[in-house]
Chains A and B, each alone.
Chain A
């Protein structure tokens, strides 16, 4: 089944009733459907069904998402190269919370990501009497100073330290797998090209070189289109 047809079938199956009754799609349904349409990456029907489930349900409350946004912006402050909004980091938290919900993931969303919010809020409340979202940036940073470094051995903070490491990991992985993040990193590949060895200036920088014997047997890229022919001993003739 083609992807378009698959999504249509699922869509009609789940909210089709309201469609025919009201002959319109509610705004919220539309937002969710747009999410599903956004991704096109060669899924099987079973995988598409899973994605549909993940993308058309809601895990975090709006206020939780705002808290995540605030945390993410302090872990990785915006600059001219990119920011967590353009990188879709908060959306990734929402998706992973639902996606890692199988038994193998041990309810990652509930036990790790939401647990993180609760633990961070608890520390903010103990220190400042309010939830994280209502703290100033300086107050939040003072909390992070005690839970963001792996050398803090304070036993009462070990869970918070562990959970903060997950938040930091999620923020950075979300950023560096986004379009802005990959541009920021400078990654140059994933595009058709002809590899012809390490650039000369790089070889020089590291004082390494190709040895002649090795390189003489490597592909001559100017002949890559010539049909390969060999003699009987396996020597390439073309």
Chain B
């Protein structure tokens, strides 16, 4: 096999260009460090009209935006979803895990919900509160300065609330609530559920002259052509490329970290997806940010004499403690919102208000909390609109179905009258939930693939039950009717399939004890002093928050640590 080797030795090789890799690339290259950024997907710039989907209309797609090629619809900005051609994965029988992969510059940050929540002091030490899981080796105070810098660098709107476990930051002002959100506020308050402005990394106000301001098209999931929302591509990687310190390798699938006979990393090998050839890059330091499970896969596939069961795996913990956010949701029909006056209510691409966790788990039968996200309003029609045009007739004792001119009126009558309540909660990380290399299966590039084993426990089921109890109470309190049947124990309380919320973390967890963790508090492998992990793999626990803001703050902290090591000439 022909292997093409680079002559140059980079200071740092970063694998993956999403939230963690983009932040490492920017922080390191800004400090003058020479970086090779290796991305498995193509180049992507949200401003490029060739690939843009923002502001497109449903009829611009032959299938009106249906999800044939992209699971969340034609206009959704993710190249790749739950499945990728020729790159399979599987689950142990009786278990299920869904793995989302976005193969493009910026990765999943091009389509994510922009919900940007800091972890709170409790989230780093939850074992102290309930004895479950493990504490992080760092505290909120260690990471706070990086959250602060991140807020100013990237921009996030929100409000100061002075809540202990929902730390405030440097916020841009939030947008005013939409009508259905005013209904939610009313219902939530009546149910004694805290409700406040959401915290999203969308620019409601200018933060620099390189990025535009949100123009309220409601579609951050399509990635913003004026960079009014945060994507790693537009806000971190593309600006870094202008500094001359970054070489970008796209369509380059890293399969292994290469080590010398002493077990230290000397670079990475990758497959160029355009010509199918193998390449090797040399680097003094390797920073992995391929996403929690892809990073675990690379490490487990990097076997050598010095590391017989995978790089950095002396603890046998790589892939273990995999966990995702829990999810459950319910639609609510609000009769008062029938026959709405129509005006432009797109707003930002996501909710303007939300509910952070508002209760004390000590008084409940499940250990960890959840937050509530709210959807609804009068969004742009897409494939599926009008499918059951008068289903809600049943609430008025009227016939459903039919045909003829009245169907037009039915669609208009019910348009904008439904809201969606979605709970997103914290799961307990377990050693028994993991990904591992499947000895019997390879992808189309010949690289061994992952097999998952993931099961929720009563901790999560009881939490999902509580979510549904809460949704019903809020639904009635805001004058609505919850849709469908409330899921019961038999339906596992409607809890999401693990992986479905796309917050998978924990596969190379962080800790001080090399027997109980894979990386140290600077996200460096315990076993190898020049390999770091800056995606969500080092998370000890995923709070009732969303992981992105913490991935980036940690990546910035780790990158500054690497810079200081270079300065001290430890490398």
A residues contacting B by CB (< 8 A) are 2-3, 35, 38-42, 44, 46-47, 50-51, 54-55, 74-77, 79, 81, 88, 92, 95-96, 99-100, 102, 105, 141, 144, 148-151, 165, 168-169, 172-179, 181-182, 184-199, 201-203, 205-206, 208, 210, 214-215, 217-220, 223-228, 230, 234-236, 238
B404 touches A193 (CB 8 A): no
B217 touches A218 (CB 8 A): no
A226 to B403, CA, bound (A): 54
A41 touches B380 (CB 8 A): no
A2 touches B344 (CB 8 A): no
Among B205, B219, B404, B415, point to the contact of A219 (Cβ < 8 A): B205
- Please give 6 more A-B residue pairs, beta carbons under 8 A apart, in addition to A189-B344, A218-B173: A41-B75, A74-B403, A181-B381, A186-B412, A203-B182, A226-B206
B155 touches A40 (CB 8 A): no
Query: In the complex, what residue of chain B is closest to A54 when comparing beta carbons?
Result: B62
In the assembled complex, the CB of A137 is this many whole angstroms from the nearest CB of chain B, namely: 11
A197 to B345, CA, bound (A): 8
A235 to B213, CA, bound (A): 20
B60 touches A219 (CB 8 A): no
A2 to B218, CA, bound (A): 28
Q: Which residues of B in the span 66-84 have a Cβ within 8 Å of any Cβ on A?
A: 66, 68-69, 74-75, 79
With A198-B176, A228-B205 as contacts: A172 and B59 at CB distance below 8 Å: no
Interface of B (DSSP majority class): loop
Q: Which residues of B in the span 170-221 have a Cβ within 8 Å of any Cβ on A?
A: 170-179, 182-183, 186, 197, 204-208, 213, 215-219
Among A35, A182, A199, point to the contact of B343 (Cβ < 8 A): A199
Pick from A35, A96, A100, A177 the residue with the most CB of B within 10 Å. Answer: A177
Residues of B within 8 A of A182 (CB): 57-58, 380-381
B411 touches A194 (CB 8 A): no
Contact with A along B44-71 (1 / 0, CB 8 A): 0000001111011111111111101100
Among A148, A184, A188, A208, point to the contact of B179 (Cβ < 8 A): A208
B79 touches A219 (CB 8 A): no
Stretch from B129-137, B306-314, B317-325, B382-390 that touches the partner: B382-390
Contact with A along B374-402 (1 / 0, CB 8 A): 00001111111111110000000001111
A168 touches B403 (CB 8 A): yes
Among A3, A176, A218, point to the contact of B385 (Cβ < 8 A): A176
B63 touches A230 (CB 8 A): no
In the assembled complex, the CB of A125 is this many whole angstroms from the nearest CB of chain B, namely: 20
In the assembled complex, the CB of A123 is this many whole angstroms from the nearest CB of chain B, namely: 15
B346 touches A195 (CB 8 A): yes
A76 to B409, CA, bound (A): 11
Among B186, B342, B382, point to the contact of A188 (Cβ < 8 A): B342
A172 touches B385 (CB 8 A): yes
With A148-B401, A149-B400 as contacts: A99 and B217 at CB distance below 8 Å: no
Residues of A within 8 A of B74 (CB): 41
A40 to B62, CA, bound (A): 10
A182 to B381, CA, bound (A): 7
With A208-B186, A218-B175 as contacts: A99 and B388 at CB distance below 8 Å: no
Residues of B within 8 A of A168 (CB): 389, 401, 403, 407
Residues of B within 8 A of A176 (CB): 381, 385-386, 411
Query: In the complex, what residue of chain B is closest to A208 when comparing beta carbons?
Result: B182
Cβ contacts A to B, 14 pairs, < 8 Å? A3-B50, A41-B53, A41-B61, A55-B62, A76-B407, A96-B63, A100-B66, A182-B58, A189-B380, A198-B343, A208-B179, A219-B204, A225-B213, A236-B173
Residues of A within 8 A of B207 (CB): 227-228
A173 to B344, CA, bound (A): 21
A174 to B183, CA, bound (A): 31
Q: How many residues of B contact A (CB 8 A)?
A: 88
A214 to B9, CA, bound (A): 54
Query: In the complex, what residue of chain B is closest to A50 when comparing beta carbons?
Result: B69
A173 touches B385 (CB 8 A): yes
Residues of B within 8 A of A74 (CB): 403-404
Among A144, A214, A227, A236, point to the contact of B197 (Cβ < 8 A): A214
With A165-B401, A173-B386 as contacts: A185 and B381 at CB distance below 8 Å: yes
In the assembled complex, the CB of A95 is this many whole angstroms from the nearest CB of chain B, namely: 5
B412 touches A185 (CB 8 A): yes
The 7 closest A-B pairs by CB, nearest first: A172-B386, A197-B176, A192-B215, A177-B58, A189-B346, A169-B387, A219-B173
B173 touches A149 (CB 8 A): no
Among B217, B383, B408, point to the contact of A191 (Cβ < 8 A): B217
A238 to B170, CA, bound (A): 13
- B113: Cβ under 8 A from any A Cβ: no
- B169: Cβ under 8 A from any A Cβ: yes
Among A165, A191, A196, A205, point to the contact of B341 (Cβ < 8 A): A205
Among A99, A201, A223, point to the contact of B62 (Cβ < 8 A): A99
Pick from B60, B63, B400, B405 the residue with the most CB of A within 10 Å. Answer: B63
B411 touches A224 (CB 8 A): no
A174 touches B53 (CB 8 A): no
Among B59, B380, B408, point to the contact of A76 (Cβ < 8 A): B408
Residues of A within 8 A of B127 (CB): none
Q: Which residues of B in the span 471-519 have a Cβ within 8 Å of any Cβ on A?
A: none
A237 to B156, CA, bound (A): 15
A177 to B63, CA, bound (A): 10
Residues of B within 8 A of A105 (CB): 68
A186 to B64, CA, bound (A): 18
In the assembled complex, the CB of A226 is this many whole angstroms from the nearest CB of chain B, namely: 7
- B347: Cβ under 8 A from any A Cβ: yes
Residues of A within 8 A of B182 (CB): 198, 203, 206, 208, 210
Residues of A within 8 A of B388 (CB): 165, 169
- B336: Cβ under 8 A from any A Cβ: yes
Pick from A75, A195, A208, A215 the residue with the most CB of B within 10 Å. Answer: A195
A219 touches B183 (CB 8 A): no
Among B51, B215, B403, point to the contact of A148 (Cβ < 8 A): B403
- B91: Cβ under 8 A from any A Cβ: no
